Structure 1
């Protein structure tokens, strides 16, 4: 039996933070990062909470949050025992917060003989990329590996989309997170687990990216584009939460962890090569091109139209075309290929990819991604 699942409730718009004024909880645990504190963005949340409430702030989350950070936050969470937990930030604070709540539930359940623990969970994204505020996924780093958790218990109760938080984003972050949105949308659309519900959401997200991302990149203070990219991120999150993803994410997770590349940029670098290798999805890529208004006469041309769109978008936002442009040493890369393939194959995103690649296919793919050519 197939299923399409929607959670959380979504509050959006410039006045969406006013939702916090009506909360009745007395104890709040906020998971965020140091930049949210330094930029005083956390103050926008604090000033909306009930005046007599007690607040504990855990601001130690770093990019690509580690198991150690989740453990540290978990201890603070248990000690403070809040009624409401708020995750504020990009994908890293939200993913870290999900991990804390997930493991807290497991610990409490095991120690109490089955007692369920439910805290009101609010996610407030400050970037438009991961869609983590509406997904049951969390990615945590352990050494050079990324661990992808998936459990519906990690879904927030409320997601608050407020475009004011994105005013201060630098262009590079807008580029990286925007390409992450495109990757989520694209992989949700071509996934073997996709369905009419996820396809409709994914297509709308892709259209919003095409129409608004470059303008948002060039004019971060413009409200309209900022808001629409935020919607695209959320739509894409709902889509892939139901359809899963594919090897674009599996490869990006793996090379991102091994070579310390931001997740969105890793997705963007590998995307053209994944489009070429996913031959079973060429019809889907052509369908997307048609929805975007491109003209072509056959499936291969339709796929190429979408590929050119991706490559032009990357060029305009100054995103590298290959790993060697990041000055990654080839000798080191070559030695890591067997472990890279192993990690890609066991990543939870690989299962529903349209094409099933052999080890030889993966070797060729990784070499193409490194050298920036499709001729290998």
Structure 2
């Protein structure tokens, strides 16, 4: 139900975005997801979470997309662990179907960011499921975007860098906290905790990619991710060197602080 499609062409993922791709009617039936294995439940759920957490800080975000993102995030943190543990929990499946749809509506208008650019590049190169690749990079990219940028994307109505405040708002809404720093850290911690609950690999190394294979591909991966269209709505304008650093963080699983 979004205007986006991604095709793998010659080992690279190509993103297509056009509103002619939006169907006249989308049927979202949670009962159809009950047969999904736990791994697929985790992958699709983390992808939906990434959609919401990227759309909420996009340079095209608005009060309308923010509301969609906030509800999607709230539902996912509550329902995804339940759907993962009990595939036939229809209430959890319903909440996840609604959350994925809300996040889809949000990124259909605000679009995504650098996390998706990294996931596209790495997923195509090493054959990693899209949601799984998103999950590997999500903690690192959130902290990257929450720190002060050397450059940020110009956009109408986006004259100040507000990512830290946006993450703090989501954190406070879903997890509480009295100070912005506290609320933001609660959100970051909750993301990492959720990934662990879902048994998601926390690094490309843990996923099983050999170090020599990764390092040999690193220059091409960095350029591919840098050129990805998803970067255009990321609030922080990534340099190739920063993309390279994020790729290394995703491989070794180190934290950014």
State TM-score, norm by structure 2. 0.91
Give the match for residue 114 of structure 2. 247
Instruction: After TM superposition, give the deviation of residue 303 of structure 1 in Å.
Output: 2.3
Secondary structure, aligned partner of 2:16? strand
Give the match for residue 282 of structure 1. 164
Separation of aligned partners in 1, 2:256 and 2:101: 36
Alignment of 1:21-40 (within 5 A): none
Q: Tell me which structure has the larger Cα radius of gyration.
A: 1
With over 3 angstroms needed to count, the CA separation of the structure-2 counterparts of 1:375 and 1:178, relative to structure 1, is closer
Instruction: After TM superposition, give the deviation of residue 293 of structure 1 in Å.
Output: 3.1
Give the match for residue 320 of structure 1. 201
> Among residues 149, 173, 182, which one is paired with 1:291 in the alignment?
173
Deviation digits for residues 316-337 of structure 1, max 9, x if unmatched?
A: 1100111100121111211212
Alignment of 1:187-336 (within 5 A): 187-278=54-145, 279=147, 280=161, 281-299=163-181, 301-336=182-217
Secondary structure, aligned partner of 2:175? coil
Separation of aligned partners in 2, 1:163 and 1:302: 31
1 or 2 for the larger relative contact order (CA 8 Å, sep ≥6)?
A: 2
8 Å contact kept, 2:175–2:187? no
What is the aligned length? 242
> Among residues 133, 137, 140, which one is paired with 2:7 in the alignment?
140
The structure in which a higher percent of residues are helix is 2
Root-mean-square deviation (Å): 1.3
Separation of aligned partners in 1, 2:19 and 2:110: 14
The structure in which a higher percent of residues are strand is 1
Alignment of 1:97-116 (within 5 A): none
Separation of aligned partners in 2, 1:274 and 1:238: 22
Structure 1: which 5+ residue stretches go unaligned?
A: 1-133
Separation of aligned partners in 2, 1:169 and 1:366: 30
Separation of aligned partners in 2, 1:276 and 1:195: 22
Question: Which range moves more in the overlay, 139-148 or 327-336?
Answer: 327-336
State TM-score, norm by structure 1. 0.63
Structure 2: which 5+ residue stretches go unaligned?
A: 148-160
